[in-house]
Amino acid sequence: QHDQIVSGVDWSKNSNRIVTVSHDRNSYVWSQEATEWVPTLVILRLNRAALCVQWSPKENKFAVGSGAKTVCICYYELENNWWVSKVIRKRHDSSVTSVAWHPNNIFLATASTDGKCRVFSTFIKGVDAKYVVNLPDAPADIKFGEQIMQLDLSFSWAFGLKWSPSGHTLAYVGHNSMIYFVEEVGASPSAQSVAFRDLPLRDILFISERLVIGVGFDCNPMVFAADERGLWGFLRFLEERKTTSSSLPYSSQVLSEKFGKLYGQSKSGLNNESASNAAAHENCITCIVPMKKRESSSEVVTRFFSTSGLDGRIVVWELAEEEE
């Protein structure tokens, strides 16, 4: 159905529906009928490309970020038997690269190439049940599209962002090789900035309230953890790789490898030792998603997750039990 690049896809596991968005400015919700997947067009009313999409936790809405500096909140209108959208406008100064739903199904966090992270209310009368706003200095009823918080921590493009399983912590990453952790979301949030010496991240995932996995241009998942005081820091790379001998100085070799991965260049001239120690990913990792056991009813993320990247690979990981 799409005639340009499909830039976002998400699956609702309970209702078994797939939503896709594309640079053609369209979105489709796919439902399975017998052995066929039947698409339903969603009216987005965008004049720029749709870039990302995600179902809400209750799967009664989904959010679409776009290059039109807007976010579309889409829901099913039973009377007319189609999907419609309400648009959050005049808030972003550039393209919306990522969206993330709070567990309460109302708050939505966005990341943008203007370097900012924002949190909005997506309450839609008749779609969402009334909820209690647990934010200081906040009105009892926050209307649709009202901005709850704006963070100007990153001075570069902001990419992936996620909420912790409880919704207490929000984390997002910038193209400046930094990751930001925000607590007490509201008028007066507390934030931590963690800088690392490696290439930037593109996406992140909370394994637990105190453990985060980040993936990006280093082609190797990075583990971040919080200590007893709640201070976050880089722990280690998830994949251990052997160093190979080279005639180049160490610093030149590292820079050459890193820039090669950043621009998608393939490695050449590998010897037998390095070939036997092939990395799980050989290009930028762009996505990380949790995997949950079918028989488990808990919404807490398990230690299993998968990653996919520009190398065309999908890799399933299992975190050591002692690190949960």
- Asked which of 4-13, 26-35, 81-90, 255-264 is least confident by mean pLDDT, the reply is 255-264
My answer on whether 82 and 117 are in the same domain is yes
Distances in Å between the alpha carbon of 298 and those of 165, 289, 292, 294, 295?
11, 16, 9, 10, 9
Same domain as 230, residue 186: no
List Cβ neighbours of 212 (8 Å cut-off, separation of 6 or more). 162, 171, 179, 204, 205, 206, 223, 224, 225, 232
**Section 160-177 average pLDDT:** 93
Q: Domain check: are 299 and 211 in the same one?
A: yes
* Residue whose entry in the numeric block shows the structure tokens 């009892």: 140
Q: For residue 58, what are the domain limits? A: 1-195
Identify which has the larger pLDDT, 126 or 199. 199
Statement: residue 18 has pLDDT above 90 = yes
Read off the pLDDT of each residue in 259-264 and give the average, rounded to a whole number: 50
Q: Among the listed ranges 20-29, 160-169, 277-286, which one has the minimum average pLDDT value?
A: 277-286
CA pair distance 74, 288, nearest whole angstrom: 24
Q: Please check whether residues 7 and 41 belong to one and the same domain.
A: yes
| Residue 238: closest CA among 273, 270, 211 | 211
Tokens 């005049």 found at? 90
Torsion angle, CA of 291/215/205/234, rounded to 10 degrees?
130
Residue 177, in any domain of the structure: yes
Residue 209 shares a structural domain with residue 106: no
Sign for the CA dihedral angle at 236, 159, 58, 25 comes to negative
Q: How confident is the model at residue 107 (pLDDT cuts 50, 70, 90)?
A: very high
Same domain, 48 and 182: yes
Give this prediction's pTM: 0.83
Give me the mean pLDDT over the 56-66 stretch: 95
Q: Is residue 129 part of a domain?
A: yes
pLDDT, tens digit (0-9, with 9 covering 90-100), for 230-252 = 899 999 999 887 554 444 443 44
- Of the candidates 160, 177, 195, which is a domain's last residue? 195
Same-domain status, 287 and 167: no
Residue 312 inside a domain? The answer is yes
